Each structure stands twice: as C-alpha cells, then as structure tokens.
Amino acid sequence: MTINTFFQFLVPKDKKFFPLFEQATSNLILMATTLHEVVNLPASERPELFRKIEEFEQIGEDITRQTNIELSSNFITPFDREDIYALITAIDTISGNLYGAASRMRLYHVDKITKSIRKLTEINLEACQHIDVAVRELRDLKKIKKITDACNKINKLENKSDTVYDKAVADLFENEQDAKKILIYKEVLSVLESAADKCKNAANVLESIAVKHS
C-alpha cells in the first residue's frame, strides 16, 4: 500500500457517506411522492407508477448495499459506525414499507382508494421530506436545531398517522360487510401506518446523532 493510498483509506469519510445518505433520502422522497400520486389517480393510470416505485425500491436497496460496503472498508467515519448502519437501515426500511403498500394495492386490485389511504400517503411523504432536511444537516453538526425541529415534526406526523389508522380501521369494521375487503384494506392501511412508524425510528436515529456530536 502506498502512502497516498493509505491516506485515501483514512480520510474519505465525508466524500462518501454524506452523498449516499442524501441519495437515499432523495430516492425516498421520489418513492413517497409517486405513491401519493398513485392514490390520487384512477386505477387505469396507476400501473406505470407502480413500476416506478419498484425501480425506486431497487435503487434504495443499491444505495443501502453501497453504504454498508463503504462502512466495512473505511477506517474513519463521520460519526459512530452503529449510527451510520442504523440510519441507512431505517431509511431502507421506510422504503420497503412504501413499496409494500404499493405492491399490496397492485396485487389486491385496490381500485377504490379511501380518504384514509390518501391521508396516510400524504403523512408519509411529508415525513420523508423532513427526514431529507435533517439528513442534509448532518454535514454540519454544530447547529442541530434544524435536525431536532425536523425530528419533532416527524414525531407529530407519526402521532397523526396513528389517529388516522385507528379511525380508518374502526370505520372499516363498522361500515364494510365484505370480510375480504376488510382484510385487504386493513393490510394496506397497516403497512402505510408502519411506514410512518419507521419514519419516527429514523428521526430517533438522527436526533441521537445530532445530540452526540453537537
């Protein structure tokens, strides 16, 4: 190993990890945006967007894989290795839940989209946008207010998602007579609510990083 190679091994922390985090959250916003578009379109116009969501999910997996490769091959990292792993895993899990919701809508032929489904996709989109804001502030951890503000907003959105989900399920059992439809809609609602929970998990990781390094 030459001396130049040695120093490249030690130093490239901010040239690799931060761009990967930002790519991951940008991709997450694209997925959440597309899912929100899906639930506001007639069934005949959704297939192309479902394909896009699948592509975004694959891109997200590739970014996660690349981040983990960098984590295993770089000696110095911008913050604790376990926090890097927790953050990229949290983002990837949100992506998986959003993809899961889209996949269930497609596979179960959910043609009629309820207000609650639309509201949950809206909440998830907004939460993903706040995650992106917080992630972009990681490059400068001297000022953590933007991160903590974004995390507070995500927590409030997650609480809102719980309320929307609980009311939607109650209405479903009260008003829907078809047991098959109850199962299908409850499954879609559950995955969307879980995505909001995972956004809160990402916020917890971000807030922990900010506090440790402020």
Sequence-distant (≥ 6) Cβ neighbours of residue 22 within 8 angstroms: 132, 135, 136
Residue where the block lists tokens 């996949």: 103
Give the integer Cα–Cα distance in Å for 49 and 38.
7
Q: Is the pTM of this model over 0.85?
A: yes
Sequence-distant (≥ 6) Cβ neighbours of residue 135 within 8 angstroms: 21, 22, 24, 25, 87, 206
Tens of pLDDT along the chain (214 residues)?
444 344 344 444 457 899 999 999 999 999 999 999 999 999 999 999 999 999 999 999 999 999 999 999 887 888 899 999 999 999 999 999 999 999 999 999 999 999 999 999 999 999 999 999 999 999 887 778 999 999 999 999 999 999 999 999 999 999 999 999 999 999 999 999 999 999 999 999 999 999 887 7
Sequence length of the chain is 214
Give the integer Cα–Cα distance in Å for 189 and 168.
8
